[in-house]
Amino acid sequence: MPKMKTKSSVKKRFSLTATGKVRRTQAGKQHGMIKRTKEQIRNHRGTTMMSAADAKIIKKFMPYG
């Protein structure tokens, strides 16, 4: 049986935590910062966890974690 392939776009954008949750970067941080308030920019720093429903979809694309 051949190995399953991990979706290339998923391995670049998401990672799994030790407990199996999906970590992702905050949305809305790539461009257009001049329109956003300073508070919004601060709050979108770092990473966040995906909701359970969305994480289920992402995990299908990364069969080996």
Structural domains of the chain in order of their starting residue, each with its CATH number: 8-61 (4.10.410.60)
pLDDT of residue 65: 80
pLDDT digits (tens, 9 = 90+) for 1-37: 899 999 999 999 999 999 999 999 999 888 999 999 9
pLDDT of residue 1: 87
Rounded mean pLDDT of 49-60? 96
pLDDT of residue 40: 94
pTM over 0.75: yes
pLDDT of residue 49: 97
pLDDT of residue 59: 95
Q: Which long-range contacts (CB under 8 A, 24 or more apart) does 49-57 make?
A: 49/17, 49/21, 49/22, 49/23, 49/24, 50/14, 50/21, 50/22, 50/23, 50/24, 54/22, 55/21, 55/22
